[in-house]
């Protein structure tokens, strides 16, 4: 070995050791400038003789060139998700379930004579609000880093993960298996998140809603230089695949200690406790500490410490039985109410919206919150200039819970109920006994027409490709259409007068509109945008009445006679068909050739109509599922279709009959109701894991 090679090797070892002391032990032995000096020295040697560069050199963290996409790679062992507990009671039940199960299987617990339920050892740790990743080391060197993905397959983000200083590129010592997989959470500390958003705002760029999104966005950069510029961190929380599994301790806690010795960053707050009371005390301590922590956490994870017991308990519905995340309740913050505006919805509801000084709550920056209706404003006595207390659980829509009035001299006037629609100026009406105010011009109000035409053309309704919100807006602005029926008289010449339309695109849209006349009857009903008539109700109506003529003649009693249709929805249907303007549109749609009946041979109204038609048994067979909130990786329709294909019966309302609620981001009252009713709740990631084998 040349003297430069020796020097380079020594510098690498020294820098690796300093990194370990600084990032993992939090106990640096050299100053930053000394570290920089050593780093520069190594870089100089490597520049002079590139053959000295090794993959584990600290100079090689940001080596790779930008790529065009991330490759999909299978996990050696699935990356599952955790079940949740939302209260002390739920945690106690979880514990009792485990103890009962273990006793029934005659599993010897540590101290079988201890007070029942007190003898299980749990490893507790804060649940970090970051991104789960898997890191695979082969012969001590970082080989692959994957996102969780759908739990079975993740994206290869190795080059980006390498840029995170707390990720060891090479393990310490020599006592490690040939293959070692660890799992952890990548996160962005709160302060770094605030700084990134400050610079993004100053540069006029889009800001991230929360630290988790910022971490995900940083990790999914095609150019690792950008990832390297973001101060991401990692905490490792467990082992994954181990080529020498039998040589590892039974205790999860001891495994973490070993991982720390190998150079991994393990959260110093992790504790090994025995029995329920200590678990609860751990939770309470973190509920208090949470605001002072440098990173976001959304609960506490409890895991049975013994791997042998974990193995006995196994898994249920893709979550380990031996672990649970107890979530913190909704966080509350205070912010200033700037003003109260009114918005018109698709069905004409005129809703007050609070405009707030942006504030981070439950990990999300919030600047608007609905005030629901005038009664709510009166109840809170909310006025511009007041402070409001905002609450948001991890995945629930922000809510204003109370108002702290500004001093009288700074207080705005009470907000008056709108008398005119903010979109079209028509009168606003409020029905007796109904809290919601509505614009009285459903067919002429531009806001409603825009919504209703966009809905009419949407994929689940008439499925007119190329007719999205922007094009609808252009058609309305150019006065080429007024109602859905006008779409069917549009000509290519008319469309070509619009921006962005050439002969070819105009012809394509005209063709797509013509093709939509063949949409099945249930989708035509759905497309009409009748209040509270979603896809499921539209299917029921199509199946029960079989033609538009029969449906428009149906009275309240006939409608209520249909199973699952209540008086309110029945009332909306009657009201809709009572409006001559609506009937005129329907007549014109019929004249244009739009389907107005079920096909003759569809005696059962099956096919597209069958709710929950089971084609393949699977994890959803016979389950009544409700989807709420928004999904990030698929549309709600797509999710419902996929579950339906696996035997699920999707429904829009949560009731005691619901088996499973899928809560996407910003889930609200349905999630609360499901929790109250004790219905199983899973998130999008868990849904993807359940669907993954059936792609
Ligand atoms: O998603 C997770 C976050 C944190 C986890 C997890 C965890 O432990 C601290 N542990 C397990 C076992 C799983 N998901 C499946």
**255-310: pLDDT as tens digits:** 999 999 999 999 999 999 998 999 999 999 999 998 889 998 989 999 999 999 99
The residues, ordered by sequence, that sit 6+ positions from 545 with a Cβ below 8 Å of its Cβ are 551, 554
pLDDT at 616: 43
Q: How far is CA 546 from CA 79, 534, 599, 618, in A?
A: 47, 17, 8, 31
The minimum-distance atom of ligand 1 relative to the CA of 125 is 9
Q: Atom 9 in ligand 1: which residue has the minimum CA distance?
A: 237
Ligand 1 pocket mutation pick from 85, 132, 184, 268 by most atoms within 8 angstroms of CB: 132
Give, using CA atoms, the residue closest to atom 3 of ligand 1.
Answer: 127
Which of 81, 128, 286 most suits a substitution to test ligand 1, by most atoms within 8 Å of the C-beta? Answer: 81
CA 252 – ligand 1 centroid, Å: 12
In the block, which residue shows the tokens 């101060």? 231
pLDDT of amino acid 352:
93
Taking the C-alpha atoms of residue 537 and residue 611, their distance in angstroms, rounded to an integer, is 10
Report pLDDT digits (tens) over 572-590: 899 889 888 789 999 999 9
**DSSP letter for each residue of 276-313:** HHHHHHHHHHHHHHGGGSSS-EEEEEEEESBHHHHHHH
Residue 385 has a pLDDT of 92
Residue 165 CA to ligand 1 centre (angstroms): 22
CA of 369 to the centre of ligand 1 (A): 32
Residue among 325, 326, 682, 684 to mutate when testing ligand 1 (max atoms within 8 A of CB): 325
Which regions of the chain are under pLDDT 50? Answer: 112-113, 117-118, 602-616
Q: Judging by beta carbons within 10 Å of its beta carbon (0-12, 13-18, 19+), is residue 21 exposed, middle or buried?
A: middle
CA distance 596 to 260: 68
Ligand 1: lining residues by beta carbon, under 6 Å: 80-82, 125, 127, 132, 185, 237-238, 301, 320, 323
The residue whose C-alpha atom lies closest to atom 4 belonging to ligand 1 is 127
Q: What is the DSSP letter of 461?
A: T
Determine the atom of ligand 1 nearest the C-alpha atom of 132.
Answer: 1
Q: Say how many CA atoms lie within 13 Å of 652 toward its Cβ.
A: 12
Q: Shortest CA distance to 428 belongs to which of 344, 327, 366?
A: 344
Q: Kindly report the protein residue whose alpha carbon is nearest to atom 8 of ligand 1.
A: 237
What pLDDT sits at residue 608? 36
CA 260 / ligand 1 centre spacing (Å): 18
Ramachandran quadrant class, 216 (left: phi over 0; alpha: psi -120 to 50; beta: rest): alpha
CA of 154 from ligand 1 middle (Å) equals 16
Distance CA 130, CA 186 (A): 5
By CB atoms closer than 10 A (0-12, 13-18, 19+), residue 419 is exposed
Burial class (CB in 10 A: 0-12, 13-18, 19+), 297: buried
320 DSSP β-pair partners: 315
What pLDDT sits at residue 438? 86
Nearest atom in ligand 1 to the alpha carbon of residue 81 is 15
Which residue is closest in CA terms to ligand 1's atom 14? 81
32 by DSSP, 3-state: which?
helix
At residue 396, the pLDDT reads: 59
| DSSP structure class, residue 186 | E
Ligand 1 atom at minimal distance to the Cα of residue 319:
15
Residues in contact with 52: Cβ distance below 8 Å, sequence separation at least 6, in sequence order: 4, 5, 8, 45, 46
**Which residues are designated catalytic?**
127
Q: Tell me which residue has its CA closest to atom 1 in ligand 1.
A: 81
Host H or E run for residue 549: helix 548-553
DSSP string, 633-655: SS-HHHHHHHHHHTT-EEESS--
Question: Whole-model pTM?
Answer: 0.58
Compute the distance between CA of residue 64 and CA of residue 43 in angstroms, rounded to an integer: 17
Ligand 1 atom nearest to CA at 303: 12
Distance CA 647, CA 644 (A): 5
């Amino acid at each position: 070995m040349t003297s430069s090679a020796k020097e380079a090797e020594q510098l690498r070892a020294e820098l690796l050791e300093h990194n370990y002391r600084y990032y993992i032990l939090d106990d640096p032995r050299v100053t930053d400038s000394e570290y920089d000096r050593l780093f520069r020295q190594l870089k100089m040697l490597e520049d002079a003789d590139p053959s000295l560069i090794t993959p584990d050199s600290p100079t090689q963290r940001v080596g790779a060139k930008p790529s065009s996409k991330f490759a999909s790679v299978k996990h050696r062992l699935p990356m599952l998700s955790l079940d949740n507990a939302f209260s002390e009671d739920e945690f106690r039940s979880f514990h009792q379930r485990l103890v009962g199960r273990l006793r029934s299987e005659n599993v010897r617990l540590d101290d079988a004579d201890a007070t029942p339920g007190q003898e299980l050892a749990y490893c507790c740790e804060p649940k970090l609000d970051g991104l789960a990743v898997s890191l695979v080391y082969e012969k001590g060197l970082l080989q692959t880093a994957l996102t969780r993905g759908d739990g079975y397959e993740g994206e290869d983000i190795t080059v980006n993960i390498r840029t995170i200083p707390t990720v060891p590129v090479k393990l310490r010592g020599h006592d490690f298996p040939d293959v070692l997989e660890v799992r952890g959470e990548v996160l962005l500390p709160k302060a770094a998140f605030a700084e990134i958003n400050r610079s993004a705002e100053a540069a006029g760029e889009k800001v991230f809603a929360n630290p988790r999104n910022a971490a995900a966005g940083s990790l999914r950069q095609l150019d690792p230089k950008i990832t390297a510029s973001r101060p991401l961190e990692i905490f490792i929380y467990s082992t994954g695949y181990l080529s020498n599994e039998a040589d590892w301790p039974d205790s999860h806690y001891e495994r973490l200690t070993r991982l720390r010795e190998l150079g991994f960053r393990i959260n110093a707050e992790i504790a090994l406790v025995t029995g329920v009371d200590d678990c609860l005390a751990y939770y309470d301590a973190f509920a208090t500490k949470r605001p002072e922590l440098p990173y976001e956490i959304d609960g506490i994870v409890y895991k049975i410490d013994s791997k042998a017991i974990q193995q006995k308990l196994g898994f249920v519905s893709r979550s380990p039985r031996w672990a649970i995340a107890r979530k913190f309740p909704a966080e509350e913050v205070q912010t200033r109410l700037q003003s109260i505006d009114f918005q018109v919805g698709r069905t004409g509801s005129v809703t007050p919206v609070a405009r707030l000084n942006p504030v981070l709550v439950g990990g999300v920056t919030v600047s608007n919150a609905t005030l629901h209706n005038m009664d709510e404003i009166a109840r809170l006595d909310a006025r511009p200039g007041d402070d409001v207390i905002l609450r948001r659980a991890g995945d629930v829509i922000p809510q204003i819970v109370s108002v702290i009035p500004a001093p009288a001299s700074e207080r705005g006037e009470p907000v008056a109920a709108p008398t005119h629609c903010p979109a079209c100026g028509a009168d606003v009406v409020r029905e007796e006994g109904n809290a919601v105010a509505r614009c009285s011009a459903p067919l002429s109000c531009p806001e409603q027409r825009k919504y209703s035409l966009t809905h009419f053309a949407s994929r689940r309704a008439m499925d007119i490709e190329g007719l999205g919100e922007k094009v609808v807006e252009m058609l309305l602005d150019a006065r080429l259409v007024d109602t859905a029926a006008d779409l069917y008289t549009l000509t290519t010449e008319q469309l070509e007068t619009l921006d962005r339309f050439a002969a070819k695109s105009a012809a394509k849209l005209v063709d797509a509109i013509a093709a939509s006349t063949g949409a099945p009857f249930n989708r035509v009903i759905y497309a009409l945008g009748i209040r509270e008539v979603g896809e499921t109700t539209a299917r029921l109506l199509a199946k029960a009445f079989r033609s538009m003529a029969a449906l428009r003649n149906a009275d309240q009693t006939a409608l209520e006679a249909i199973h699952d249709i209540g008086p309110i929805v029945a009332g909306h249907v009657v009201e809709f068909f009572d409006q001559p303007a609506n009937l005129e549109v329907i007549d014109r749609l019929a004249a244009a050739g739009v389907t107005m009946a079920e096909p003759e041979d569809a005696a059962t109204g099956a096919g597209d109509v069958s709710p929950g038609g089971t084609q393949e048994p699977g994890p959803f067979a016979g389950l009544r599922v409700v989807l709420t909130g928004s999904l990030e990786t698929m549309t709600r329709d797509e999710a419902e279709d996929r579950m339906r294909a696996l035997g699920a019966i999707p429904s829009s309302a949560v009731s005691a009959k619901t088996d499973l609620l899928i809560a996407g981001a910003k889930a609200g009252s349905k999630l609360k109701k499901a929790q109250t009713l004790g219905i199983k709740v899973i998130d999008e990631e868990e849904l993807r894991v359940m669907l993954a084998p059936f792609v």
